[in-house]
Amino acid sequence: MRFSDKVVLVIGGNSGIGRAAAAGFGAEGAHVFLTGRDRRTIDETVAAIPGARGFRADIAEIGSGTDVLAAIEAAHGKLDILFVNAGIGAFAPAAEVTPEQWDHVHNVNLRGCFFAIQQALPLLADGGAIVITGSIGAVAAVPGNVMYAAAKAGLRAVARTLAAELVGRKIRVNMVSPGPTETPIINRTEGVPADAVPGLRSIMTEAVPMKRMGAPEEIARPVLFLASDEASFITGIDLYVDGGCVEL
C-alpha cells in the first residue's frame, strides 16, 4: 500500500500502460483520477478501480485538464503524483511528412504533455512526483519514426529541465521509456495500415533481445516505483523498460 491516501492523476489512463498504472495505483491505496478521450474506455477503467474518477480531456487542447484539476482540488486540495502518459504513434518517411502531420503528433506527444504538466503544477504538492512516459524511440534510429522520435526526445528534455526546476520543491521528475509493449497503440498507429500490423509486431518482437513484447503491467510497475517513496533519491532519470533493446 505505497500510495495510501495519495492523490494520483494519470493523463492517458484509460488504455494500455496508463490503464495498468491506474489499476496499480488504485490497488495500493491511491485516490485515482484519470483522463483520456474515449468515454467508453474511461468508464470501463474507472469501474474497475474502486473510488476512481475519469474525465474526458484532449491533451492537444491546452487547458483541457481544467475539469479534472478542479475536481481534484475540490476533493483533496492537492495532487501528489502526476503520471503523464498520453501519446500517439505515427509513421511516415521523412520525405513525406507534412507540417500538419508533424504538428498533430507534437501537439499530443510533446506540446500537450508539457502544458498538461504546467497546468497541474500549482496543485502538485511539494514532495510530490511526476512520471512521464517517453519511448526508446527517442534514442533508436527507426526509419519512418521521425515525428514520434523527435517529440519523445523533446519530452526527455522537458523531463530533465523540470527535474532541475522542481528539485527545490522536492518534486521528483522521472521518465519511463518503454520498448515494444503489447497495447492498443499498435493497432492505431497512424501510417500503419491494419494488414501491416502483424508484420510490424514481428519486426518489433525480433528487435527485442528478450524476443517478446512487454506487457502493460511490466511498464506500469517501474512507473509505480518511480512515483513512490522507494525512489526518494531518484530524479531526472530515463528508465528504459524494454527487454534489453537499448542497452544490449
Ligand X SMILES: NC(=O)c1ccc[n+]([C@@H]2O[C@H](COP(=O)([O-])OP(=O)(O)OC[C@H]3O[C@@H](n4cnc5c(N)ncnc54)[C@H](OP(=O)(O)O)[C@@H]3O)[C@@H](O)[C@H]2O)c1
Q: What is the closest distance, in whole angstroms, from the C-beta atom of residue 98 to ligand X in the complex? A: 19
Between 12 and 26, CB nearer to ligand X: 12
Q: Is 148 one of the annotated active-site residues of the chain?
A: yes
190 binds ligand X (CB under 6 A): no
72 binds ligand X (CB under 6 A): no
How do strand 31-36 and strand 53-56 relate by DSSP bridges?
parallel
Residue 239 belongs to what H/E stretch?
strand 238-241
3-state SS of the chain: helix, strand, coil percent to 5? 50, 20, 35
Candidates 148, 208, 224, 238; catalytic one: 148
Q: How many amino acids of this chain bind ligand X (CB under 6 A)?
A: 27
Between 5 and 134, CB nearer to ligand X: 134
Q: How far is Cα 248 from Cα 70, in angstroms, rounded to an integer? A: 45
Q: C-alpha grid cell for residue 125? A: 504538492
183 binds ligand X (CB under 6 A): yes
Q: How far is Cα 5 from Cα 226, in angstroms, rounded to an integer? A: 17
User: Is 67 within 8 Å of 55 (Cβ atoms)?
Assistant: yes
User: Is 31 within 8 Å of 75 (Cβ atoms)?
Assistant: yes
Residues 205-234 within binding reach of ligand X (CB under 6 A): none
Q: How many CB atoms lie within 10 A of CB 133?
A: 26
12 binds ligand X (CB under 6 A): yes
105 binds ligand X (CB under 6 A): no
Burial (CB < 10 A; 0-12, 13-18, 19+), residue 66, is exposed
Query: What's the N-to-C CA distance of the chain in angstroms?
Result: 34
Query: Which one of residues 97, 114, 129, 133 is an interface residue with ligand X (CB under 6 A)?
Result: 133
104 binds ligand X (CB under 6 A): no
Between 90 and 231, CB nearer to ligand X: 90
Between 142 and 185, CB nearer to ligand X: 185
Query: Which one of residues 22, 86, 120, 129 is an interface residue with ligand X (CB under 6 A)?
Result: 86
Residues found near ligand X in the complex (CB under 6 A): 12, 14-18, 36-38, 41, 57-60, 85-88, 108, 133, 135, 178, 180-181, 183-185
- Name the residues annotated as catalytic: 148
